[in-house]
Chains A and B, each alone.
Chain A
Amino acid sequence: MRPAGRSELDSLYFTYPHFDGPTDRGHLSDDVPVAIVGAGPVGLTAALTLAGEGVRSVVLERKATFNDGSRAICIARQSYYILDRIGALKPFLKKSLGWTTGRTFYRGRQILEFQMPDSAAERFRPMYNLQQQYIERFLWEAAAASPLIEIRWQSAVSDVTDVNDGVRLSVSDPGGDYAFKAGWVLAADGAHSPVRKMRGLRLQGENYEGRYVIADVRMDHDYPTIRRALFDPASRPGGTVLVHRQPDDIWRIDYQLRDGESAEEATREAEVRRNVEAVLKDIGHTGGYALEWWSVYSANTLALDDYRDGRIFFIGDSAHIVPIFGVRGLNNGLADAQNIGWKLGWVLSGRAGEGLLASYTPERRGATLDVFANATKSTRFMTPPSHGWQVMRDAALSLALTHPYAGALANPRQMVPYTYADSPVTLEDDPAFSAGPAPGAVAADPQLEQGHLSERLSGVSVLVFGDCLDPGGLARIGGVTVLRLRAGTEAARAYDAKDGTVYLVRPDMHVAARWRQADPGVVTSALRQIFHLSGESR
């Protein structure tokens, strides 16, 4: 919502483009390999991932432009690796604000300052703040430059029907109605996913009581990019407020509604202004401000039981809704998009068997359930669900004023990448390792003589340490890149590697298998097993 007199797209800092529906209509009913429903960050990341694997897709978007406000603003380190992989990184690095530190206040006094893991050797910061419109615009710019991606704006999907070897989609746009067949569908159409409803599927789980208003204001406010959490502040006695800095002098203010406070009343402009002004007073801002945009949301933990329905895969909010604490909505959505994107890309380009697709739900739903477990802890602290949790939360905050160890209980448990330990395409670990990323975990990204290891990863990467192993046959498998790394280096230490150690790293940077002392034949057969590769080397 925006202040009176301004339309939903009348932003103080962002000029929304207007996209017409398809005008060249001759090809609209042609078959396509993949249809993606939704041109938000998740849908476009899926399209770019598929394009990276050489697979064409059509993206259908109901709206004529980007998201009306900045909902998701925190992009985690692992998502920057995804942006790098899809060739969209540069504008993100230029515009976003990286951050490492969070500060927690109780009744105006700081009780905790936490640092997320970071060092000069890391390629990316742990977190970056950037408005969702920019995220969508930068991804759109990358997608528009790809000959393999066609975005159809103002195009609403009205029906999805299973047909032989595909799904028939009925589409309505300002120019008329038509239908076409897609081999596969990725539903990235958001929390209220029309595709999910058309398939008769429902999200399962709990609805938390916590409801929050998110408001963006523009102001000249001197404070570094540090996440501030205010517990029991003067502006919201008993409640919680979060303050985040965004580019263009935009600040995100996020506050909890009390029980019985109506969302309708809380989102009236005068009420939003009154609350925002009270928060600004809490953080010592005395200059003026301009109200940009606001919205209301409640903290949910809901997910589909299966992220796949025949030839339709649900990615992002259509598959799961998570509480915001820990910033996992957008970031997990991007990981969904990359996960199914590379797998489908490998299947459609003939480099992997369809069996690979069966790993999507266990891996990504597993990640969602992990988020729920962490978010439940954070949510209990932010919005205590009962008297007992309330008493202990207040006791911990009060104790933290004089005993810093208690402040750790207020740590928001920011996103860490999920380990695909139980995936059907994660092989059992080699017990000879005592450190390094185990199968299922995200690969380490050590600095090499020049740049970072991640800059050299491509397709499925086989990391071969030392010179004693001849990986000859591996290099001839389609989509597989062999990277030789020296033993005794920083990189070897990060991987607990010696001469003869081999790691298989997937396109999404998760380790699929590792051997401390590898035999090339074993590695080749593992590759075929993990990626359901067809028999012949190329």
Chain B
Amino acid sequence: MTPGEFETVYEAMAEAIDAVGPEHSEVFLAKLCLALAHELGDGGKALELIADCGKDLPGAAGVR
């Protein structure tokens, strides 16, 4: 994936989160993660990313 493609995905996700609205965004993101994990085809890597992405969330200690 080129940096340009990656940026396009970033933008598409932002727009999709807005499009589904706050009521559905959580299930939407969970569904997207299941689909991406299936595409990834690597359970170990998916679990690593789950652990990684739980860190350093905005508002958590030390992150502003």
- The segment out of A123-131, A205-213, A396-404 that lies at the interface is A396-404
CA of A398 to CA of B20, assembled, Å: 14
Determine if A391 and B35 form an interchain contact, defined as CB atoms under 8 angstroms apart: no
Determine if B38 and A392 form an interchain contact, defined as CB atoms under 8 angstroms apart: no
CA of A448 to CA of B13, assembled, Å: 60
What residues of A have a CB within 8 angstroms of the CB of B30 in the complex? 391-392, 394-395
Interface residues of B in 1-36 (CB under 8 A from A): 26-28, 30-31, 33-35
Determine if A399 and B26 form an interchain contact, defined as CB atoms under 8 angstroms apart: no
CA of A25 to CA of B11, assembled, Å: 86
Determine if A396 and B26 form an interchain contact, defined as CB atoms under 8 angstroms apart: no
Determine if B27 and A395 form an interchain contact, defined as CB atoms under 8 angstroms apart: yes
What residues of B have a CB within 8 angstroms of the CB of A405 in the complex? 38
Asked if A406 is at the interface of the complex by the 8 Å CB criterion, the answer is yes
Interface residues of A in 384-424 (CB under 8 A from B): 391-392, 394-396, 398-399, 403, 405-406
What residues of B have a CB within 8 angstroms of the CB of A394 in the complex? 27, 30
What does the 1/0 interface line of A163-206 toward B look like (CB < 8 Å)?
00000000000000000000000000000000000000000000
Query: Assuming A395-B31, A398-B31, is B38 touching A403 (CB within 8 A)?
Result: yes
What residues of A have a CB within 8 angstroms of the CB of B31 in the complex? 395-396, 398-399
Where chain B touches its partner, the secondary structure class is helix
What residues of B have a CB within 8 angstroms of the CB of A391 in the complex? 26-27, 30
A43: shortest Cβ distance to chain B, in Å?
Answer: 46
* Interface residue total, chain A, C-beta cutoff 8 A: 10
Determine if B27 and A403 form an interchain contact, defined as CB atoms under 8 angstroms apart: no
A349: shortest Cβ distance to chain B, in Å?
Answer: 52
CA of A398 to CA of B26, assembled, Å: 12
B6: shortest Cβ distance to chain A, in Å?
Answer: 23
Interface residues of A in 440-458 (CB under 8 A from B): none
Chain A's closest residue to B29 (CB) is A395
Which of A391, A394, A395, A398 is the most central at the interface, judged by chain B CB atoms within 10 Å of its CB? A395
Chain A's closest residue to B38 (CB) is A405
What residues of B have a CB within 8 angstroms of the CB of A392 in the complex? 30, 34
Which of B28, B31, B38 is the most central at the interface, judged by chain A CB atoms within 10 Å of its CB? B31
Chain B's closest residue to A387 (CB) is B26
Chain B's closest residue to A399 (CB) is B31
Determine if A403 and B35 form an interchain contact, defined as CB atoms under 8 angstroms apart: yes
CA of A406 to CA of B33, assembled, Å: 12
What residues of B have a CB within 8 angstroms of the CB of A398 in the complex? 27, 31
Determine if B27 and A406 form an interchain contact, defined as CB atoms under 8 angstroms apart: no
CA of A255 to CA of B44, assembled, Å: 37
What residues of A have a CB within 8 angstroms of the CB of B28 in the complex? 395
Chain B's closest residue to A394 (CB) is B27
CA of A394 to CA of B23, assembled, Å: 13
What residues of A have a CB within 8 angstroms of the CB of B35 in the complex? 399, 403, 406
B26: shortest Cβ distance to chain A, in Å?
Answer: 5
Which of B28, B33, B34, B38 is the most central at the interface, judged by chain A CB atoms within 10 Å of its CB? B34
Determine if A406 and B26 form an interchain contact, defined as CB atoms under 8 angstroms apart: no
A398: shortest Cβ distance to chain B, in Å?
Answer: 5
CA of A284 to CA of B12, assembled, Å: 39
CA of A89 to CA of B34, assembled, Å: 46
CA of A145 to CA of B34, assembled, Å: 58
CA of A398 to CA of B28, assembled, Å: 9
What residues of A have a CB within 8 angstroms of the CB of B27 in the complex? 391, 394-395, 398
What residues of B have a CB within 8 angstroms of the CB of A403 in the complex? 35, 38
Chain B's closest residue to A405 (CB) is B38
CA of A12 to CA of B23, assembled, Å: 47
CA of A384 to CA of B34, assembled, Å: 17
CA of A235 to CA of B22, assembled, Å: 26
CA of A405 to CA of B38, assembled, Å: 9
A391: shortest Cβ distance to chain B, in Å?
Answer: 5
CA of A394 to CA of B34, assembled, Å: 11
A407: shortest Cβ distance to chain B, in Å?
Answer: 12
A111: shortest Cβ distance to chain B, in Å?
Answer: 13
What residues of B have a CB within 8 angstroms of the CB of A396 in the complex? 31, 34
CA of A391 to CA of B28, assembled, Å: 9
CA of A391 to CA of B31, assembled, Å: 9
Interface residues of A in 313-350 (CB under 8 A from B): none
A302: shortest Cβ distance to chain B, in Å?
Answer: 32
What residues of A have a CB within 8 angstroms of the CB of B34 in the complex? 392, 395-396, 399, 406
CA of A392 to CA of B38, assembled, Å: 14
CA of A399 to CA of B35, assembled, Å: 7
A410: shortest Cβ distance to chain B, in Å?
Answer: 13
What residues of B have a CB within 8 angstroms of the CB of A395 in the complex? 27-28, 30-31, 33-34
CA of A101 to CA of B35, assembled, Å: 26
The 4 closest A-B pairs by CB, nearest first: A395-B30, A395-B31, A394-B27, A399-B31
Contacts beyond the supplied A395-B27, A403-B38: 8 A-B pairs with Cβ under 8 Å: A391-B26, A392-B30, A394-B30, A395-B28, A395-B34, A396-B31, A399-B34, A399-B35
- B residues with a Cβ closer than 8 A to A are 26-28, 30-31, 33-35, 38
19 residue pairs A–B, Cβ–Cβ below 8 Å: A391-B26, A391-B27, A392-B30, A392-B34, A394-B27, A394-B30, A395-B28, A395-B30, A395-B33, A395-B34, A396-B31, A396-B34, A398-B31, A399-B31, A399-B34, A399-B35, A403-B35, A403-B38, A406-B38
